[in-house]
Chains A and B, each alone.
Chain A
Amino acid sequence: MTVIIRQGSLKLVNVERIRKRGAYSVAQSRLRIMLKFFWSVFAAATLNPVLFLMSVGIGVGKLINNHSGGVDGVNYLTFLAPALLASAAIQNALDEVVFPVLEGFKWNKSFFAMNATPLSAKQIADGVFLAAMIRTCFSVVIYGLVIFLFDGFTSSRGWFAIPLALFAGASFGAFVMGLAVAAKNDDSFFMILSRFVIMPLFLFSGTFYQLSTMPIFLRWIGWLSPLWHATELSRFFTYGHHLAPIMVIIHVGYMVAMLIFGLNFTHRQFEKRLSK
C-alpha cells in the first residue's frame, strides 16, 4: 500500500505562488475542457462566417449594391463584415460564460471544488473569463481570416477590427457572466437573455444598416450595445467610415467602462454564491 502523505501540505503548498498564478491554473483547466470539444468549436468558427458572408454579404449585398450602390459609400459586404465580426465575438464569449458558468455552479458544481482549494472566488472568475476570451480570440481570428478571403477589408488597417471585436466580446461577456452567476432560474434566464437581449442587440445595433436610419426612439438600443460601439470603431479602420474624434473617445470609453463594471460585478457575484 502506497504511503499517501509523505511530505505533507505544509511543505508542499505555497500559498503565495497560488495568489500569483491561481487564475492561470483555472484558465488552463477550462481550456483543457474546451479542447475536448475542439472540432465542434473549430467547425462553428469556420462555417459561421462563411455562411453569413455568402448569404447576407454576397446574396443580400448584390441586391443592395445594385439598388443603391452599397451602404456608407462602400459595398455591402465591406459594410457588414466588421459588424458580423463583433457580433461573432460577443456570441462566442457568451457561449463560454453562460452555460459553462451555470454548469460550474449548478450541474457539476466544479466551482465549489475549486473553492475548496486555496483559490479565491475572484481567481476562479478571472480564470473562467480568461479562458472564455482565449476561445473567443481563436474564433475571431478565424472569422477575420475568412473576411479577408472574402475581400471584406478594404483598408490595410482592417485587422484592427479583430482586437476591437474581441474587446466587445470581453465587455459584454464580463457583464453577462455576472448575470449568469446571479440567475436564480436557469431556463427563464436563457430565454430572456437570448430573445430579449441578444437578438434585439444584434438586430438594432447598426449591424445590417446604419443606426442613423432607425427612428430616434429605437436608436438607444444601439447606444447601449457594445456591438454598435465596436462596429463603429471597426468600420473606421476597415474602410474609413467617418467618425468624429469625440465619438472615438465615447466608443472606447463605453466599452472600457462596461468591461470594468462587468468584471467587478462578476467578482462580487462569484464571492456571494461561493460563500452561500
Chain B
Amino acid sequence: MTQSSGDSVMISAKGLTKRYGDFVAVDGIDFRVNKGESFGFLGPNGAGKSTTMRIIAATLTRTSGDITVLGKDPEKFGPEIKAHLGVVPQADNLDNALTVQENLYIYGRYFGLSKSFIRGKIEELLDFAQLVEKRNVKVDDLSGGMKRRLTIARALVSEPEILMLDEPTTGLDPQARHILWDRLFRLKEQGVTLLITTHYMDEAEQLCDRIMVMDKGSIMAEDSPAGLIKNYSTKEVLEVRFGSDRNSVIAPELKELTDRIEILPDRILMYADDGEALLHTLIGKGLHPNTSLIRRSSLEDVFLRLTGRTLVD
C-alpha cells in the first residue's frame, strides 16, 4: 500500500500553456501535486481543467512551459508516464459489447500485466466497485452509476501512482454520486494520489485536500477548501428573495448593511459572519424578503467572489 509520504512531488508545472490558434486554453499556470494528496481543479466548463489533465496524461502536447509527471516530461516519456496513471475520462469509454470483467481483463492486458495477476485483481476491483453480481453482464446493460464505477475500477487495475478523474460524477443521480464519493474517499484514505476536475463545489469540498480554482485558463486561487472559504468569503451567507422585479431596486439599500452582496437573477446573497444578526437588521429596517435562508459559505461563494460568475451557468 502506498502511504502518503509528505512532500514527494508527483506533478509539477511551471508556466504551462496550451493555445489553439488565438484561443488560450491554459494560460501559463504553475502548480504542484504531492504524493498521497487529493488535488482538485475547480472551475466552470471551458476553464482549461480537462486540457490540463490531458497534458498531464501525455495525450496532448503543450504549447509552452514546463511540466514533469513522476519526474519525467510527458512529451518525451509518454508510455513511461502512462504506465503509472489511472485515467477516468469525462465520458465513459468502456467496450460495450464486453462484460464487466472482460473490460477489466483487457485493460489489465494493455498494461502488460500477467493473466494470473489480473484474475486476482478483478475480484478485488469488482468488490470495490460493488459490481460482483454484475461481473458477467454486458456493459451495455449497466446503469450510468455502474458504468462510472467500472471505469474507475478499470483505471485501478494497474495500481496506478496517480488516479486522474475528469468530472467523475457529472450526469449521475444524487444516490449514485454518493456511492461514488464513498468509493473515492476510501481510495483517498488508502493514500492514493487523486487528481480531480469538477465544476461541483460539493464534490471538491468532499474529496479534495487542496483546490486550484481555474477560470478561462488561469488560476484564480489555490488552497484547502476551508482556506479558500476563509480567505475569499465570510462564515455565513444570507440569501434573500424579494421577487425578481424588486431585487435590483432593493439592492442599494442592502449594500449599506454589509461589506459584500451579490445580486443574482433570482436572489441576493449577503455575506456576513453572523447571518442571523444580519437578517434581524434587515427586518428591523422594514425590509421584508419573500424568503430568506442562512447557510454556511461554500466554494460557490468563493468562485463568485473570484470571477463574478456562478460555477454552473
Contacts and interface: CB of A to CB of B under 8 A. Distances in A.
Nearest to A116: B87
Interface string B31-61: 0000000000000000000000000010111
Contacts of B160: 5, 9
Given A117-B107, A118-B110, A119-B110, A4 B93 contact: no
Contact of A12 (B87, B159, B191): B159
Contacts of B159: 4-9, 12
Interface string A134-165: 00000000000000000000000000000000
B213 interface: no
A236 interface: no
Interface stretch (A26-34, A170-178, A242-250): A26-34
6 contacts: A9-B83, A12-B117, A19-B79, A112-B93, A116-B89, A118-B78
Nearest to A24: B109
A18 B1 contact: no
B82 interface: yes
A13 B112 contact: yes
Interface stretch (B121-129, B231-239, B253-261, B282-290): B121-129
Contacts of B110: 18, 22, 25-26, 29, 114, 117-119
Given A4-B192, A5-B192, A18-B83, A116 B106 contact: no
Given A3-B1, A4-B192, A36 B84 contact: no
A18 B112 contact: yes
Interface of B: 1-2, 57, 59-61, 78-80, 82-85, 87, 89, 91, 93-98, 102, 106-107, 109-113, 117, 124-125, 127-128, 154, 156, 158-161, 186-187, 190-192
A15 interface: yes
Interface of A: 1-10, 12-15, 17-19, 21-22, 25-26, 28-29, 32-33, 36, 108-110, 112-120, 274-275
Contacts of A119: 79, 110
A144 B281 CA distance: 92
Given A4-B124, A18-B111, A118-B111, A9 B79 contact: no
A36 B226 CA distance: 51
Given A4-B124, A17-B112, A116-B89, A9 B84 contact: yes
A5 B84 CA distance: 12
A18 B127 CA distance: 28
Nearest to B60: A275
A275 to B, nearest CB: 6
Contacts of B113: 12-13
Contacts of B125: 4
Contacts of B98: 29, 32-33, 36
The 5 closest A-B pairs by CB, nearest first: A109-B93, A116-B87, A29-B106, A118-B79, A117-B110
Nearest to A124: B110
Nearest to A18: B112
Contacts of A108: 93-96
B190 to A, nearest CB: 6
B112 A3 contact: no
A4 B190 contact: yes
B80 A3 contact: no
Interface hub of A1, A2, A15, A118 (most chain B Cβ within 10 A): A118
Contact of A15 (B80, B107, B109, B161): B80
Given A25-B112, A32-B98, A117-B111, A8 B161 contact: yes
Given A12-B158, A12-B159, A13-B111, A28 B106 contact: yes
A13 B1 contact: no
Tell which of B61, B80, B109 has the most Cβ of chain A within 10 Å: B109
Given A110-B95, A112-B89, A117-B158, 19 more contacts: A3-B1, A5-B192, A8-B161, A9-B84, A9-B160, A9-B161, A12-B117, A13-B83, A14-B112, A18-B79, A21-B112, A22-B112, A108-B93, A109-B89, A110-B93, A116-B57, A117-B82, A117-B107, A120-B79
